[in-house]
Amino acid sequence: MKFTINRSAFLNSLADVQRAISSKTTIPILTGVKIIANNEGLTLTGSDSDISIEAFIPVEDEKNQLEIMETGGIILQARFFNEIVRKLPDDKMTIEVLDHFQTLITSASASFTINGLDPNNYPHLPVIDSNESFILNVNLFKQVISQTVIATSTHESRPILTGVNIVIENNTLSAVATDSHRLSQRIIPLEMSEEQARQKYKIIIPGKSLIELAKILEEDAETAEMMITENQVLFKTENLYFYTRLLEGIYPETQRLIPDTSSTSVVFNATSLLGSIERASLLSHEGKNNVVKLSVSKDKVEISGNSPEIGNVQEEIHFQSFQGEEIELSFNPDYMKDALRTFGQSDILVKFTSPIRPFVIVPSEDGKEFVQLITPVRTF
């Protein structure tokens, strides 16, 4: 194998596939990146057996400055290889595989020879030949990811809660995540064939996989194809394949956790409320219990935080409308801050039921497509 390429273009694809490569893998060959050259271009592959990413660099794209002199393949230790490529002196680089998988990397006056491995020993990626294929709007789906993964659990004691539960039916995609203390649900429209619309698809994608997917989905890609099989899902754009395993098990029934009614409703600006909670949490983080208190009445809304060692903070919060009964409750400010950041600058409706029941946060103009739910903290 021998090829010459623009170093920046190569680094971009190398950075994408490296997101799937872990130094902690128990399979040594997976610490490497697989490079395959054919007449159409280069294919770079990285995997940790849970996530696999394949990036294609086409010859026909002139900005790649890719010239294939000899087809073939190699596996190179990803961490060292990436450092070498980043520090090469010129905009162009040449990679040539020599005898016994030794690989020569040259750029201007710099020359490295490193040991490689036989690409035929690299594990095969899943073969996904499925009719269960859906077209996603990339920007909208990245929004879904950012709004739901915040509620996934980080504890492996309940593995199923480390994922996002995705249900596809009736021309909609519903994504929900919960760690049992908070919940986030987002529903978006989805084009489906008549046959698909008659069925229901349920998959649980690891939250960590979705975070990595959101990072590498190209900003200029309008759509991505999602293909579902029994234990894998593939997200596919023009030059990128992202595979991830699915979590096995039955996700909890979350719809019943969202209250149908409320005793108190208040409209806030999300950014303004976020600022107040950030200030209150400055002291709550110093205490044994990371808790802030919210008092709501028709005359004023007040938030307070306390640390016996440091002091206390109290702030009156501006609100746009109030309806219902007075209420006082305490909550984890970090959960609330994560939820509020997903709403951006918009106005939100916060619906309370009781001091010990979960409260709901939704956009003020539409409370159905996007729901955040947080469980209060008992302080008595």
Alpha helices in the chain (DSSP H): 7-18, 78-86, 138-148, 194-197, 207-216, 270-284, 333-341
pLDDT band at residue 26 under the 50/70/90 scheme: confident
End-to-end CA distance of the chain: 69
- Rounded to a whole number, what is the largest CA-CA distance in the chain? 80
Q: Report whether pLDDT(61) > 70.
A: yes
| Rounded Cα distance, 132 and 166, in Å | 14
pLDDT at 324: 96
DSSP-derived letter for residue 138 is H
Residue 81, strand partner residues: none
| Rounded Cα distance, 167 and 32, in Å | 35
| Rounded Cα distance, 156 and 243, in Å | 21
Which is nearest to 257 in space by CA: 336, 329, 181? 181
Nearest-Å Rg of the Cα atoms of the chain is 25
Please give the average per-residue pLDDT across 165-175, as a whole number: 95
Strand-strand pairing, 327-331 and 264-269: unpaired
Structure-derived torsion over alpha carbons of residues 258, 260, 262, 267, reported in degrees to the nearest 10: 70
Which is nearest to 52 in space by CA: 174, 233, 195, 196? 233
Please give the average per-residue pLDDT across 297-320, as a whole number: 89
Helices and strands, number each (H, E), in the chain = 7, 26
Please give the average per-residue pLDDT across 355-362, as a whole number: 95
Which is nearest to 373 in space by CA: 187, 176, 184, 186? 184
3-state secondary structure of 251: coil
What is the separation of C-alpha 83 from the centre of its chain, rounded to a whole number of angstroms? 26
pLDDT at 194: 85
Contacts of 26 (CB under 8 A, 6+ apart): none
pLDDT digits (tens, 9 = 90+) for 219-230: 778 999 999 988
Instruction: Using alpha carbons, list the distances in angstroms from residue 330 to 164, 202, 343.
Output: 27, 35, 21
pLDDT digits (tens, 9 = 90+) for 229-284: 889 999 999 999 999 999 999 999 998 889 989 999 999 999 999 999 999 988 87
Q: Where are the beta strands (DSSP E) in 123-274?
A: 133-137, 163-169, 172-178, 182-189, 201-206, 223-228, 232-237, 240-245, 264-269
Which is nearest to 211 in space by CA: 237, 177, 239? 177
Q: Report whether pLDDT(157) > 90.
A: no
Question: Residue 79 phi/psi, 5° resolution?
Answer: -65, -50
- Rounded to 10°, the helix 78-86/7-18 angle is 150
Burial of 193 (0-12, 13-18, 19+ CB in 10 A): exposed
pLDDT band at residue 380 under the 50/70/90 scheme: very low
Residue 202 near residue 209, CB atoms below 8 Å: no
3-state secondary structure of 100: helix
Average per-residue pLDDT for the chain: 93
Residue 332 near residue 290, CB atoms below 8 Å: yes
Q: pTM for this structure? A: 0.92
Take residue 44 and report the two structure tokens written for it. 């770079």
